[in-house]
Every structure is written in C-alpha cells, then in structure tokens.
Copies of this chain bind each other. A is one copy, B any other.
C-alpha cells in the first residue's frame, strides 16, 4: 500500500473509530470533506477516497447534494418523545389524546369543542337526507382539486362582506383547518426554519410545527393581542418564515386583537420585509362564527398579500363532517393544489363539502348561531362566577366563544391539578400545554360548554386542595 493508500486507510480508521464510540451515530452526517481533511492534515481527495470506500462497504452512505451519513436505522420521528424530559401532562399531545379518546363517562372541561347536543344537528340531518338524493357523481367521484365550487363561492361572498376580495379560485378547500395550516407549512417551510407563534397559543400549533422540524419562537400575548413591540423585535432577531395566530377569540385566552395591534403587526412586518417575500402570516379564523360582531382581521387590512386566511367548520357546524379552507395569493393556491394532490390525492371529500354547504344554506343555521352566541354569553358569565368562587380567576372576559383562561390561586401548578383531576376522570387543559416558553404553569383553560356537570367543581376543589402551593 502506497503513501496515499495508507493515508486513506487512516482516514477510514478515524471514521470507524468515531462510529464505534458513538461520536458518530447511525443517521448522523459525517464531517465535510474539507473540514475532515483539515482535521486529519490530509488532502481533500484523500478524504473523498476514504468516504467512497466506506460507502462501498456500506458503513456510510452518500446523499447527493447533502453529504455523507452513517448508515443504519434512522429512528422514526417520535413527536411525543422529541423532548424526552418533558412532562407528559404538559405535552401538547396529552390533552389532544385524552380529550379525543375519552370514554363517555369522562368529563372534558379541557377539550376544544362544543358538546354534540349544542351543534346544529337538525340542519345537518336535513343536509344528510338531501345528500342521499344527490347525483351519482357527487356520491362517487373524487371531485375537483380545489373542492366544491358552490362552497368556495359562498366563502368568497363572506370574505367580500369582511372587505377581503378573494375570488372562488383563490380559495382552496382542505380536509380540515389543521390540514390547511399543514399544507401551508409544507409549501413555505424548510426544516430548521423559524416560526413565530403566540405565547400562549393553541397547543396543536406546536405539535404541527414539530412535525415540520421548525424552530418555534413565542411572542408574548397581551389582552390586546400579541405584543407588537416584542413581535417586531422577534422579526429582527429570528427572521421567521411564518407567524401563525388567531386574531379573533384567541385560543386559549379568548382575547381579540385590537385594531391598533393588527395595524402595528402589519407595519412591523412591512418594515422588516417590504416585499412580502420573507415573512408570511397565517390567520387562523376558526372561532369567527362565535363573534358577536366582526373584529379586525389581518387578512382584511393586508388584502391577502402577506396574510393567508384559513378556517374550518368544525367548531360551529360539525367536527365529524370535516372541511377546512385556505384563502391566499393566487400563485400560492396553485402550488397548494399540487401539494394537496400529492399528499391527499385531491381536495376534501365532495360529500363532506356538500353537507357543509347545505347546512350553511339552511335557513335555520343562522338562527342556530344567534341562539348559540346568546347561550354562550350566559354560560360564560355563570361559569366565570362559579370558577371565581373556588379561587380560579379569568384573565379576561372574552367577547365570545367558549374559553375561559383562568389563573390558579396561590401559585399552584396546573399540571399537578390536571393530573389529580384525571384520576377522577376529568380532563383539564393545563396552561403550559399552550406555552412554548412553559410560562403558563399557573393557568388552566376551561371550556364553559363542557362544565354542565356539577361534579366538575368538586373535582377541581379536591385537585387544588391536594396540590400544595409551592
């Protein structure tokens, strides 16, 4: 073996040693050719030859355009274990799975939806009976890639009422509101990109962004919406690709963004990125139907230049008949259509879109929503009074919706209270599930529509009594 051969062998041996002692694990990237050449004091071509030989042996593998990687099993992406030190009680999946899979005997003041008997079931049953008489094509075919045109036209008219000019072609129906955000993340994010979210915010945003391997940065949330000053600072410091927010009836606080806040956020975005190329804002409008009167919308101020509007019908109509939507710049909608074809072959279920359309067009649906808003206003007040009586204080009284974001007395820890309540078959939503900075351990989110059973208050009192203040 010549001198070059010896050097190549030395480089191979050095890599093998690192693999043996787990300095380099299966799936991990090897040092770049140049840097390892510098480390070993050899020429880059020697490292190239060593890597090629190791690849031929199967010890490492080349990924064109990316580099060399140690062979062997890549561990599957385990979202729940992405932060193994994390307390399962404040894992975003914990509340989702506990709520979704809860038995009929469980009480769920921590869940994010109305009880089934609060939903417009009579109108839905009428829509279903009507569907049984639909054309064969509607019952059997995939349907168009953007989803039901009549439903998109109805949405376009609603948007026009809000001051958002979006033609039916600028609207894409999706399988759900979550899937709408997921498609946008697929379009705009690369692994490692930074995304801003409110702190606190809907816990599933964190779960979704973890699935995209995004870096998550929180913007502190105030009673007027996100802190505009800290938002501007976060743009400069972190150069995020996306910001995801609820502007009306924010989850979990129930707050609504003020017009000043909405304007300041968009000005900060424009100052940071004048051409609307680097920063996109996703406005998740899933609770809009619960508003007593319209509030400012980022999408309306911005005219869908930088802002993408998404929503669904799961909260006010049905979560069983699922359909979401995206309204965005035309060129983004085109790209999102391709992505939805690739990942779900086509748009949302035509049968589901037809049921949503027929229910929205049912004369009784608007009346149902009016009655629902009045009922929610009453139940919010009553529940707030009962919670205050046992020491749980609402952070604010929301204008609408079904959430109350309450602080616990005496610095008690919400995760401890949630664990104690779960032992009595009550699912709570502890604050840190919603907080990327884990700074909401003193809060619980309550769903006032799921608190009709008086047993809940006794369980809460016992759970708090058994949880000593720090």
A residues in contact (CB < 8 Å) with B: 27, 31-32, 34-35, 37-39, 58, 61, 63-66, 71-74, 76-80, 93, 96-97, 100-101, 113-114, 116-117, 119, 121, 124-125, 128-129, 131-133, 135-145, 175-179, 182, 186-188, 190-194, 204, 207-208, 210-211, 215, 236, 238-239, 241, 277-278, 314, 318-322, 332, 335, 337-339, 341-346, 349-352, 355
Contacts and interface: CB of A to CB of B under 8 A. Distances in A.
Contacts of A175: 175, 179, 344
Nearest to A346: B100
Given A100-B145, A351-B321, A192 B65 contact: yes
Given A32-B35, A58-B239, A204-B341, A137 B125 contact: no
Contacts of A39: 34
Copies in the complex: 2
A429 to B, nearest CB: 15
A319 B142 contact: yes
B72 A188 contact: no
B187 A143 contact: no
A100 B142 contact: yes
> By CB atoms of chain B within 10 A, which of A31, A63, A179, A319 has the most?
A319
B182 A341 contact: no
B342 A210 contact: yes
A246 to B, nearest CB: 15
Contacts of A338: 78-80, 93, 97, 207
> By CB atoms of chain B within 10 A, which of A139, A186, A204 has the most?
A139
Contacts of A129: 128-129, 132
A176 B344 contact: yes
Given A74-B193, A77-B339, A145-B101, A349 B346 contact: no
Contacts of A117: 136
Given A116-B139, A121-B139, A314-B345, 11 more contacts: A63-B215, A71-B239, A76-B332, A79-B338, A129-B132, A141-B320, A176-B344, A178-B344, A207-B341, A208-B343, A211-B343
23 contacts: A27-B190, A31-B34, A35-B35, A35-B38, A63-B192, A73-B277, A77-B335, A79-B335, A79-B342, A80-B338, A96-B345, A96-B346, A97-B337, A100-B346, A116-B139, A117-B136, A128-B129, A140-B320, A176-B345, A191-B191, A207-B338, A211-B343, A322-B349
